[in-house]
Every structure is written in C-alpha cells, then in structure tokens.
Amino acid sequence: MRRIAGTARLTCAVVVLGALLAGCGLLGDAKNDKGTVSGMDMQGAAERADGMFYSTVEEIKPEIEWVHYTTTTGKCDVTRYWTVMTVVSEQRRGNFLGLVERFWKASDYRIDMVNPSKDLPTIIATSPDGFGVQVKFGYKGQAFFEVTSPCVEKSKVAGPKRVANGRAYEGEIPTPNVRSAFWSAETPVPDPAPTP
C-alpha cells in the first residue's frame, strides 16, 4: 500500500513539475532582457494556444465534441483549457491518445511524460516554441486539453474567437454525454486485416 501511495505521489509531482516548467517558460524559448518571449503578449499566446488545440483535435477522427472551459493567467503566462464532451470508452482511450501523441511528435513537440494509467492516462508535451500542452482523462473518463504559454508580455486576454463544436452549457460543464459509434464503443479497435 505504501508503495502505491509513493508511486502516486511521485507521478503527481512529475505532472505538477512539468506544468510549472512549461507555464513559467523554463523549458527553452527565445527570451528578451525582461525574461519574456520576444514579440508575444498574453493575447498572442492565448491565440497560439487556441491554434495548437484546434490543430490537434482536427487530427482526431472520427470527430469529437468539445467545449471551451476556461482561461487563466499567471504573472506572465496564460493557460487555455478545453473539455471533451464525447464519451471515450476505456477500450478506446489508447487509440485517442495515440492519435494525439503521433500528431504532436509529427509537429516536433517533445513528449515530456506519458502516464499509461488505466483510469487517468495523461500525455504532457512541449512545443518547439516553449508552450506546454497536455491531454488527460479524468473523472468518468472525461478528456481534457490544456495549453500553457511560456513567459510573455503582460496584456489583457480575450476569450477564444472560435465557437466550440459542442453544445453550449449554462454553469458547470457536465461529465461526457455525447455518444460516438466509434469512440464510445466498449470494445477494442479491431486489428486491420492482414495483407496477403
């Protein structure tokens, strides 16, 4: 029991450290003499984060439904969050994460951590320009995306310009409630037929 608790604490510490390093811009980016990324303010960083998310979910086929969750700002960074409303069954989470990881690798993101947990799998990566990005599964198998900028110039941050492809929710976003013939199926993806 102590070993499991210790492993859980270590995993949490690695996740938090990765998020902090990415959020504070310590993972390598072009900084000016103020310690911020040259030529980018918080609004620009938020738009860059949006673009990273949109390009990622466009690679997920069949399409999933998602909604904007929130935006937070730190001393010199900005984080955007999105919530996936499509039910992704336990049997299909590996396929989902595999699509995301392949796209991030193809986009030259550095994969910083892969947590293969059966219940709460997570992938954390860093883009070439120092943005921290992650996808994780949480309560009831709900998937979440998060993008955190490196340190940038302080500015106001507007909400995302693009409308979510899922329905709008008043108040708290519920657990996943959109069924997909593919993503919600409770069977593994069949192996492709062998070629003769």
CATH number at residue 45: 3.30.2030
| Number of domains the chain contains | 1
The verdict on residue 177 lying in a domain is no
Asked whether residue 188 is assigned to any structural domain, the reply reads no
Q: How far is CA 196 from CA 192, 193, in A?
A: 12, 9
| Per-residue confidence in pLDDT tens, the chain, 196 aa | 444 444 444 444 444 434 444 444 444 445 545 455 668 999 999 999 999 999 999 999 999 999 999 999 999 999 999 999 999 999 999 999 999 999 999 999 999 999 999 889 999 999 999 999 999 999 999 999 999 999 999 999 999 999 999 888 888 999 999 999 999 999 998 876 555 5
Q: What is the pLDDT of residue 39?
A: 86
In which domain, by residue range, is 46 found? 2-148
Q: What is the pLDDT of residue 134?
A: 98
* 88 is a domain residue: yes
The one-letter code for the residue type at 159 is: G
Question: Residue 73: phi, psi to the nearest 5?
Answer: -125, 145
Is 193 within a domain? no
Residue 177, CA distances (Å) to 49, 99, 113, 152, 183 in order: 26, 22, 28, 36, 12
Question: Is 0.95 surpassed by the pTM of this model?
Answer: no
Of the candidates 95, 102, 104, the one whose C-alpha atom is nearest the C-alpha of residue 182 is 95
pLDDT at residue 189, as a whole number = 87
- CB-based burial label for 58 (10 Å; 0-12, 13-18, 19+): exposed
Residue 121, preceding bond cis, omega within 30 degrees? no
How many angstroms separate the CA atoms of 196 and 185, rounded?
29
Query: Is 87 a member of any domain?
Result: yes
The pLDDT, as a whole number, for residue 166 is 83
Q: Let me know if residue 168 belongs to a domain.
A: no
pLDDT at 106: 98
Residue 105 counted as domain residue: yes
User: What Å distances lie between residue 161 and 51, 52, 54, 134, 164, CA to CA?
Assistant: 11, 14, 12, 21, 9
Is 35 within the bounds of a domain?
yes
Token digits of residue 169? 């929710």
Query: What is the structure's pLDDT at 182?
Result: 97
